[in-house]
Structure 1
Amino acid sequence: MSGECGYSDTSHSRVFELRALEFLAARLPRRAARAGEWGVGTEDLALFHETSGEEERQECAAALAWQRERWAAGFGWLTGPLAHGGAGLPAGYDRLYRQLEDRFEVPDMNPLRIGLGTVGPAIAAYGTPEQVDRFAVGLYRGERVACQLFSEPDAGSDLAGVRTRAVREGADWVITGQKVWTSNATFADLGLALVRTDPDAPKHRGLTMFVVPMDAPGVRVVPLRQLTGGTSFTEVFLTDVRVSDEHRIGAPGEGWRVATGALAGERRAVGDRWHERNARALELLRGLAERTGRWEDPLARQEWARLYSRLRIARFQQERMQQVALGGAERAVDKLLLSTNLRLVGELAAELAGPAFTADTGEWGHYGWNRWLMGALGYRIAGGTEEILKTMLAERVLGLPKEPR
């Protein structure tokens, strides 16, 4: 416990743990063990959270209400600076709190993940004290929702190729362009936008980061229908959106530095929260193999055992990387292992289910895997496209020659 939280005195982390458990137990029921037994409960095999309309807004309201409870009790921003209302604790305390909270029936926090895990940390790291108070603190207080305005139709894997532009007009900037694959935009209060401010500079140096109010004139949000049927992503059109220079995060031309810091937080969040779900998937795959008569096939058992080993290795790797700084390029390994393992889980399910994987026969635990595998395709992009992350690891960690730029 002491090593995890960064304290030599285990009494400090123990007091924290007891206080957190007391807070949680007084407000929430214990969470029932997530069923891995065949045929018990819902299959729950969709990898992307997909709700829309009124249901989505109700989830957002519930998440904000819980975040306000966290804040009031001192658990809303555990790693945040004391000067801005945070607890000023090492990252280990945040991990410990999340582990404790997982034991209880907490509202779905998906609507707030980007704000708390990506946008807030980026503003806190690169913004001025006034900007932290103005934009970030509200996210942790449960008063605002944020989205991330990074990817564009022609700038996904090559994020530095964004074309959305901002032109200086006196004390303001006027932003015009298009963003895509934006989560939460339909109900977000603010967006962290990476835009081009110097078209003549090298592409990585001509970028600047801004906080954009999502209700500003000229902002239009259009939901995107996905392959899986949901609309959890959107397009955002920015037409002559005027923001004050006070909304600029970092110096002009330093947007890439802010973006890489934000993306490191996103990759960390993507890697951190999947171990329990993958463990359940393994149990369901074994049940599928037993019911399709494939468990006696040594090749099927070998593939299941290989997948089990990969998932355990990914978990150990992620636990080891907890001690690496948030911005470390090594964090990309967690995300690469996750995206590969999600795909392999889906492919083994397709092999075991046979025709029932593509034609819904109504059998529990068969066709539902279809949504898993389709979602796994998206995770090859989410948090950074695999090819880009491999290049980053090759250059920054292994020291291989850099790609020509």
Structure 2
Amino acid sequence: MTGDLMKNFVNGEFVDEGKKVTISSPVDGNPICDVILANKKSTLEAIDSAYEAYYRSWAETSVRERQAMLSRLARLVEEKSNEYATMESINTGKTLRQSMLMDIPLGISHIEYFAGTDEFKFSRDIMHPEYPDTRGIVQNAPMGVVGAIAPWNVPFLMAVWKIAPAVLAGNTVVLKPSHHTPLTALNLAKDIREAGFPPGVINIVAGNGSEVGNTICTDDRVSMVSFTGSTATGKKVMSMASESLKKVTLELGGKSPNIVMPDADLNHAAKGILFGIFLNSGQLCESGSRLIVHSSVREKLIRKMIEHLGNMKAGNPMDMETEISAITTGDQLKKIGSLVNEGESQGARILYQREIGESVPEGGFYFPPTILDNVTDAITVASEEIFGPVLAVSEFNHVDEAVKIANSTKYGLASGLWT
């Protein structure tokens, strides 16, 4: 793709208002292409376009018409799924295996679901028990302009996850993909236009949160903001959006535990735990970053995990056989290393670290899959989201103790129980 210029998508056109930057791959550090990052002016134009499209026509289109466009979009993406998967992996550093077998197919499935669902009911009758001779109607109406802010770790999936239900419900959308990983979202714009969505219904503006994101969150014409990302940024989004009483949905961080009971199938548990933390190199909000294991099976489980982890294939993420992803940004790589070092200084120890050495491309961002032991509640890595390939191990003797350890965090996103 080197030499290409990817632009933002506003009112059905590709626009070059903003700053040109070069996007490099975390796989090997090589440049991928140039991208125009939107500024406040182009973001306001996107909001203008979405606002006008909503009131001009979109809210009045039928559900069947909207679903037909979504169906066409799903077909177009599916026809180019290999292209999307390659672009997703080279931009994020996740393995091509993951993009080909999970992220892109899941995204297509999301679009197909909303293209075919009959669950969207814009009105329903109700009967009041005290007034049986009356008829009540609950009417659901579109909200208007929805601001959708997607994260850098799963950019394609999160983009369609936010766009599809919003437009089906009759809303228009201003999507902000991360400035780190905007490629598949900007590429999606071509298929959005070909699928027949009218100008302004879906706008895509890649850029920094401080400029593009803040503009979306504070503009009075945006009725709702859907944000996926860090807890710290989510708090800022909520604060800014509250000034104009926007509806806000937030999907933030996690520190998800896997509890292993003494009667668990340890081989099965070992594989599941490793998948839960090392998929996408732990750069998922629901990653199972904590292992809470019964003391009677701890040693046996750890041995099985180390055996399976040693067999995971390291290498170039663009090879379909590779199972270990790169770290998406240099800043994230530094954060992971810093938190592991802090954990060691507080008493945790590296029980096992999977050597990746020279098997990965030079110039890329990589952190070896790591298992930390002796992790107590007093250690930062027990409660702080690392967002990397690091598993923190604690042990328990009684189930009440396991539950207490699992709940000793500010997060509540996901958990697992092996028994």
TM-score range, shorter chain: under 0.3
Q: Which has the higher helix share?
A: 1
Q: Which has the higher strand share?
A: 2
Q: Over alpha carbons, which structure has the higher Rg?
A: 2
Per the normalisation by structure 2, the TM-score is 0.24
